[in-house]
Amino acid sequence: MTGADLHCHSIHSDGVHTPDELISMAKEKGLIGLSITDHDTFSTHQSFFDRDFLLIPGIEISAECVGQSVHVLGYAYDLYSKTLDEFCRFHQARRVKRNQAIIENLVEMGMPISWEEVKELSPEASSYGRPHIARVLVKKGYVPDVATAFKRFIGEGKPAYISGDRWRVEEAIHAVHEAGGKAVLAHPHLIKQRSIVRKLLSLPFDGLEAYYSLMPKSENERWRQEAEEHGFFATGGSDFHGTLKPAVHLGSSFTSFETVQMLYRHFLQHVKRAV
């Protein structure tokens, strides 16, 4: 394999593996590099280069555009950026409020769980979301598995769902740029409304995720072309979360060597501070 998986999650958000485990797994699979793009957190705070492996600093920011959930990936930014760290912490606090409101809905629906139980079951996370709530629902026997929790109760549009306040996409892009990083539109195929896709493609993104584990292969060429037409680079990543999404495997989608090298060079030349 000659690429790097630039989209996966660790225990710092809703993944089940530690960053070290993810790096070992990526090396075993023969990937040339990795970016651990945890949701709205700066905790996965590392980068390194060894002779044959590149770790690119990464993050996935929860944003919205006209009510539509949109994820913005940030890469190769300053790991010591106070602005981006605070930006993440602000949203982590909003997530807590939103999670508590979802929990209140579940309690009213006859599934008494508490915020304390959610934190106890996933103590390493700094950014909590619906998967952490789902794990408690499974543990207490209210649903057989996480997928059912989403399908019946906490998925978008289901009775206990609350979207909560999120960043505007423009704000997310700006925060990544302020930290010296590159902003990439994640899994664009999930956005079904054409007018929103058009608006997103007109924003100052640097890249677009044209290869994604759960994107139908027939759509890759369309998104690669959109990237080219708009002057964006194309990235690829799996969105691996471990057993949270059993059908998604690390390295099942990846970014080309040239693009990973460009990102790492950008990081070294423009962002990384002398220590």
State which of positions 2-61 bind Zn ion (CB under 5 A): 60
Task: Pick one of 185, 239, 251, 254: the residue that binds Zn ion (CB under 5 A).
Answer: 239
CB 124 within 8 A of CB 11: yes
| Binding track, positions 59-98, relative to Zn ion; x by CB under 5 A | -x--------------------------------------
User: Rule CB under 5 A: is residue 209 a binding residue for Zn ion?
Assistant: no
- Identify what 244 binds: Fe ion, Zn ion, ligand AMP, none; CB under 5 to 8 Å per kind: ligand AMP
Minimum CB distance to ligand AMP, residue 265 (Å): 29
By the 8 A CB rule, do 237 and 245 touch? no
User: Applying CB under 6 A, which residues contact ligand AMP?
Assistant: 14, 39, 62, 129-131, 146-147, 150, 241, 244-245
The rounded Cα 211 to chain-centroid distance in angstroms is 14
Nearest CA to 58 out of 37, 80, 85 is that of 37
CB of 48 to ligand AMP, least distance (A): 26
**From CA 58, how far away is CA 8, in angstroms rounded?**
9
Q: Which does 17 bind (CB under 5 to 8 A by kind): Zn ion, Fe ion, ligand AMP, none?
A: none
Nearer to Fe ion, 70 or 143 (CB): 70
Contacts of residue 264, defined as CB under 8 A and 6 or more positions apart, other chains included, come to 33, 49, 54, 56, 76
Name which of Fe ion, ligand AMP, Zn ion, none residue 147 binds, using a CB cut-off of 5 to 8 Å depending on partner kind: ligand AMP
Q: How far is the CB of 186 from Zn ion (least distance, A)?
A: 7
d(CA 27, CA 22): 9
Closer to Fe ion at the Cβ: 3 or 188?
188
Residue closer to Fe ion (CB basis): 17 or 71: 71
* 78 binds, options ligand AMP, Fe ion, Zn ion, none, Cβ within 5 to 8 A by partner type: none
**Contact by Cβ (8 Å): 99, 93:** no
Of residues 187 and 266, the one with the C-beta less far from Fe ion: 187
The label of the residue with tokens 């700006």 reads 174
212 binds, among ligand AMP, Zn ion, Fe ion, none (CB under 5 to 8 A by kind): none
Shortest Å distance, C-beta 37 to ligand AMP: 10
* Contact footprint for Fe ion (CB under 5 A): 14, 71, 186
At closest approach, how far in Å is the CB of 36 from Fe ion?
12
Neighbouring residues of 147: CB distance < 8 A, sequence distance ≥ 6 = none
Residues 7, 61: contact at Cβ < 8 Å?
no
Which CB, 161 or 257, lies closer to ligand AMP?
A: 161
- The strand ranges marked E within the chain are 4-5, 33-34, 48-50, 53-55, 58-65, 68-75, 167-168, 182-185, 207-212, 233-237
Which residues of the shown chain bind Zn ion in the complex (CB under 5 A)? Answer: 60, 239
